[in-house]
């Protein structure tokens, strides 16, 4: 448990930190987009204020009959209140100039025409002021009350505008930052209660359960939430319950299998003793005994064969193949011999594998694949009771750059429908009296253990199985 808790991310790592960081970045990014137009607005009204004060000053001038002889101190005060170096008022072709005393007017000034109000110009104005506005002089040009024939010009340094714009920007930045922090803090609490905490609960449960899936106490207890988290909790609980019962069932089956294997083993030994006795009984001269003994011997042989094949099936799935170089032609001949094909009175055996083909395979397991296929073919041909002309079993060898293909076919009666339905399914596939239904299941498992495939290929006549093996197992 301790290691799992350590494996979980802490409260400030993992999902929640990612969420908070994303929110702060997004809010700041949005603020940048909002900032430019609002700063443009601020600059515009700042300039308008100056222009308005300039207009008032111009009107004062206008109202005085002898403007040229106004006292200098009054003129200077008027100009200072507008923060201006000079004011020009143009009206009906006339123009009046009001300038600070003892100040030389700069030769160059940047014109800001308040009559141009398109957003791009306004935003460019902000950037222009912030970047280059520390030492320049502005010439603000505007109309009085929207009358085109009354134009006011105010000449003033740009530095105060820039300073005010900087203060405005700084305030806006801090305001956004505070907003971002508050928003993300609120969201953090919200998200961690609604999302992170349940997800952590789910994750912790998954980790715990995967460590000990046989412990039913670790199965998730879902809450009654109706959202996606609730669905996830219930899904996890169902999955864990299924897994738990599957594991339990498997353990029971494994125990059962072991018990069956033990019983089967002892049964085979008992049958072997019975076989010895029945062999002796067969030697008794009594004619009745002579008549019954062969059947007794046959039944016991069959029972031993059955016990043996069940034992083999259990054993072969446990041992992986141990490959060594094997001569394929020879190995198939031996398998055919074991299956009773070599020297058979009626069935012809044809081995189509060329002489010098060597592969890397487990000789016993590999031979059992063909042993089972050949035995099935022989049994089918024998069961046809001589109704088939020139019965044969053959293997044809073929190879592609990727595969070796061994086709095993016979000209027997073909697969009965019952066998087709459960082909390759252990204990299920048999369609003949005394068959265990293990032969093909074993053959397929052993082929797959060698990296290959065993397939039934439907044909109009006889039966055909293809053993397809990766070309890599060929060594000569």
CB-based contacts of 277, cutoff 8 Å, min separation 6: none
Minimum distance, C-beta of residue 456 to ligand ATP, in the bound complex (Å): 9
Which is nearer to ligand ATP, 139 or 368 (by Cβ)? Answer: 368
**380 contributes a contact to ligand ATP by CB under 6 A:** yes
**377 contributes a contact to ligand ATP by CB under 6 A:** yes
**429 contributes a contact to ligand ATP by CB under 6 A:** yes
Given 435, 453, 455, 474, the residue binding ligand ATP (CB under 6 A): 435
Q: 87, 57 in Cβ contact below 8 A? A: yes
Maximum Cα interatomic distance, the chain, rounded to a whole number of Å: 165
**54 contributes a contact to ligand ATP by CB under 6 A:** no
**447 contributes a contact to ligand ATP by CB under 6 A:** no
Per-residue x/- track, 93-132, ligand ATP (CB under 6 A): ----------------------------------------
Given 18, 432, 448, 457, the residue binding ligand ATP (CB under 6 A): 432
Nearest to 392 by CA among 464, 338, 454, 467: 464
Which is nearer to ligand ATP, 128 or 382 (by Cβ)? Answer: 382
Which is nearer to ligand ATP, 85 or 415 (by Cβ)? Answer: 415
**463 contributes a contact to Mg ion by CB under 5 A:** no
Nearest to 79 by CA among 46, 108, 101: 101
Q: Which of these segments, 29-37, 209-217, 265-273, 372-380, binds ligand ATP (CB under 6 A)?
A: 372-380
Binding to ligand ATP (CB under 6 A) within 302-361 occurs at: 309
Q: Which of these segments, 58-66, 111-119, 353-361, 370-378, binds ligand ATP (CB under 6 A)?
A: 370-378
Nearest to 241 by CA among 217, 207, 225: 217
Given 157, 198, 429, 439, the residue binding Mg ion (CB under 5 A): 439
**176 contributes a contact to ligand ATP by CB under 6 A:** no
Given 233, 394, 410, 466, the residue binding ligand ATP (CB under 6 A): 410
**376 contributes a contact to Mg ion by CB under 5 A:** yes
**372 contributes a contact to ligand ATP by CB under 6 A:** yes
Given 332, 419, 446, 454, the residue binding ligand ATP (CB under 6 A): 419
Per the DSSP assignment, residues forming a β-bridge with 470 are 403
Q: Which of these segments, 183-191, 344-352, 375-383, 445-453, binds Mg ion (CB under 5 A)?
A: 375-383
Q: 161, 138 in Cβ contact below 8 A? A: yes
Binding site for ligand ATP (CB under 6 A): 309, 372, 376-377, 380, 410, 412, 414-416, 419, 429-432, 435-441, 463
């Amino acid at each position: 448990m301790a290691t799992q808790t350590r494996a979980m991310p802490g409260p400030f790592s993992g999902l929640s930190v990612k969420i908070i960081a994303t929110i702060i970045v997004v809010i700041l990014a949005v603020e940048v987009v909002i900032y430019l137009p609002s700063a443009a607005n601020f600059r515009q009204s700042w300039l308008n204020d100056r222009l308005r004060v300039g207009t008032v000053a111009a009107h004062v001038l206008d109202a005085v009959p002898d403007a040229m002889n106004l006292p200098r101190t009054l003129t200077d005060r008027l100009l200072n209140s507008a923060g201006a170096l000079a004011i020009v008022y143009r009206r009906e072709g006339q123009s009046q100039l009001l300038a600070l005393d003892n100040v030389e007017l700069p030769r160059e000034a940047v014109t800001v025409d308040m009559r141009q109000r398109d957003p791009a110009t306004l935003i460019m104005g902000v950037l222009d002021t912030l970047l280059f506005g520390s030492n320049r002089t502005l010439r603000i040009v505007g109309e009085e009350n929207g009358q085109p024939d009354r134009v006011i010009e105010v000449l003033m340094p740009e530095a105060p505008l820039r300073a005010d714009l900087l203060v405005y920007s700084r305030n806006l930045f801090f305001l956004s930052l505070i907003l971002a922090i508050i928003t993300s803090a609120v969201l953090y609490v919200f998200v961690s209660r609604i999302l992170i905490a349940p997800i952590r609960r789910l994750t912790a449960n998954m980790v715990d359960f995967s460590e000990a899936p046989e412990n039913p106490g670790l199965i998730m207890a879902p809450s009654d939430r109706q959202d996606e988290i609730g669905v996830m909790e219930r899904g996890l609980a169902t999955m864990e319950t299924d897994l738990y019962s599957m594991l339990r069932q498997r353990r029971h089956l494994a125990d059962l299998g072991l018990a069956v294997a033990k019983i089967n083993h002892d049964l085979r030994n008992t049958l072997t003793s019975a076989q010895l006795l029945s062999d002796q009984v067969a030697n008794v001269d009594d004619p009745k005994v002579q008549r019954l003994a062969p059947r007794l011997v046959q039944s016991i042989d069959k029972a031993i064969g059955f016990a043996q094949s069940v034992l083999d099936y259990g054993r072969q799935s446990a041992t992986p193949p141990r490959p060594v170089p094997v001569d394929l032609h020879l190995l198939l001949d031996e398998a055919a011999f074991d299956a009773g094909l070599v020297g058979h009175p009626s069935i012809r055996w044809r081995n189509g594998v060329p002489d010098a083909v060597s592969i890397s395979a487990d000789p016993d397991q590999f031979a059992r694949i063909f042993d089972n296929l050949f035995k099935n073919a022989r049994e089918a041909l024998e069961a046809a009771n001589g109704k088939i002309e020139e019965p044969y079993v053959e293997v044809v060898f073929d190879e592609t750059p990727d595969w070796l293909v061994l086709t095993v076919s016979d000209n027997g009666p073909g697969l009965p429908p019952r066998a087709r339905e459960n082909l390759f399914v252990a204990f299920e596939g048999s369609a003949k009296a005394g068959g265990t239904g293990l032969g093909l299941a074993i053959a397929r498992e052993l082929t797959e253990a060698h990296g290959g495939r065993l397939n039934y290929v439907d044909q109009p006549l006889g039966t055909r199985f293809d053993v397809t093996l990766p070309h890599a197992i060929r060594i000569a």
